[in-house]
Structure 1
């Protein structure tokens, strides 16, 4: 195992998790890993909470690819990004002592709106109209006009994000070893005037997706990255691609994405 020297705790619940943070600091100190007060200084960034806290920790630390992320649940629920539980804190310590942990790489999705700097997400990107009507957009794969979409919106997910919102609207669950993004329609209109593929599809990392918003109507699109809204005025174009940025995450051995999928859904 890599010799980790420092850990930063991302604890969005503040005072509620202060005692937990102190106990975990003592645990990591016994392992020879010191606690630091800045995520920029840490070899390990540990989130306290569920998958939402984990996603926030990655976003708040700017999707660092030169450290590892560690999710520690503070309740008994089962999660996808979070492998360890505070209620079983001894197992966490033993996993480090026995080197019973692996590093899993999660691909991030790059999202560029208009000519702004790119943003990233680990789960999914959504785009929909903020007014009570369908939104129209041209959907390009590379530079090829694939379809002219008319519907509630579009969701683009990473493989690890495929089990959430994407799955609930009929998208496929995708193995994280496949470096691809999934495009899933939100209530598309299909009739003699409008026609879309009508099903989700996968694009590998070498195929960018571009959405050109129809400017004949002021849609004021609502966009989100993971669990946070993306505020951009006068959205005309959104470019998406699988980033080369890989988020490294500590996980228990023999606890794969498919183990978690079975545990959560079957």
Structure 2
């Protein structure tokens, strides 16, 4: 019997959903698992919903390194982070009890705002103008001033985050086995005064990206981290690095990351 037998379910407070989950709870307990009320007591955290619910489950439980995460989708939902759905929950339990556990590790980025406040992101961090005016950002790679960006904003995405907001801006989809992160532009302006690369670029795990906001009236930009917006006044700079942390998930056989990319987009 696996020692990973304490399950915590993360889901919205919804009586109708709870009724649907009752059979899953019973199935879990019948298979020797214990449902815990506190995420700190769990060694497997199960989100119920799509990718948004999975991201929230990871964020709200602190990107724990000592447990596994897994996602269950409901009807008419899909998810690149979620291997299971309501109909094959028993397959997840069978995998965890009777088969050698396959674990997938997703890269995470660390974001430091103004040299003080530190955050983790599994998907991406984005910085955007909140007024009807383009934002100007000096982009530094390690100690090199790389470019001065002017436009609606920038996205810094992890490999798994590359399929979301980043992809909508024509960024590349990156294999999560590659320890890297990607920078993509949102509606850049290119003229005689401002000139950017004009395409996404990918940075290796040992690189440091610094985004310095030019204080020209757009001093309170909107920062998005995964699926949350952060209102932080007087943004001076963001520093982004690949984290030492990873998010570990239960991997279903014959369901690779690229299998799910194909199902989702092709």
Report the equivalent of 1:66: 66
CA RMSD after TM alignment = 1.5
Give the length in aligned residue pairs: 266
Secondary structure of residue in 2 paired with 1:202: strand
Partners of 2:42 and 2:227 in 1: CA distance? 24
Instruction: Give the C-alpha shift of residue 205 in structure 1.
Output: 1.2
Secondary structure of residue in 2 paired with 1:195: coil
Q: Is the 8 A contact 2:155 2:184 kept in 1?
A: yes
Q: 1:172 to 1:218 in 2, by over 3 A?
A: closer
Instruction: Give the C-alpha shift of residue 101 in structure 1.
Output: 5.0
Instruction: Give the C-alpha shift of residue 75 in structure 1.
Output: 1.4
TM-score (norm 1): 0.95
Report the equivalent of 1:257: 257
Report the equivalent of 1:179: 179
Partners of 2:108 and 2:188 in 1: CA distance? 26
- Greater shift, 228-237 or 87-96, is seen at 87-96
Q: Is the 8 A contact 1:75 1:87 kept in 2?
A: no
Instruction: Please list every run of 5 or more consecutive structure 2 residues that lacks an aligned counterpart in the other structure.
Output: none
- Greater shift, 149-158 or 100-109, is seen at 100-109
Partners of 1:218 and 1:186 in 2: CA distance? 16
Report the equivalent of 2:205: 205
Secondary structure of residue in 2 paired with 1:52: helix
Partners of 2:103 and 2:127 in 1: CA distance? 32
Report the equivalent of 2:123: 123
Task: Give CA deviations for 1:31-65 in whole Å, capped at 9, x if unaligned.
Answer: 22211111111000000111110000000001111
Secondary structure of residue in 2 paired with 1:18: helix
Q: Is the 8 A contact 1:121 1:225 kept in 2?
A: yes
Q: Is the 8 A contact 2:134 2:152 kept in 1?
A: yes
Partners of 1:164 and 1:133 in 2: CA distance? 25
1:36 and 2:47 are equivalent in the alignment: no
Partners of 2:31 and 2:3 in 1: CA distance? 10
Residues 85-234 of structure 1 aligned to structure 2 (within 5 Å) = 85-99=85-99, 102-234=102-234
Report the equivalent of 1:78: 78
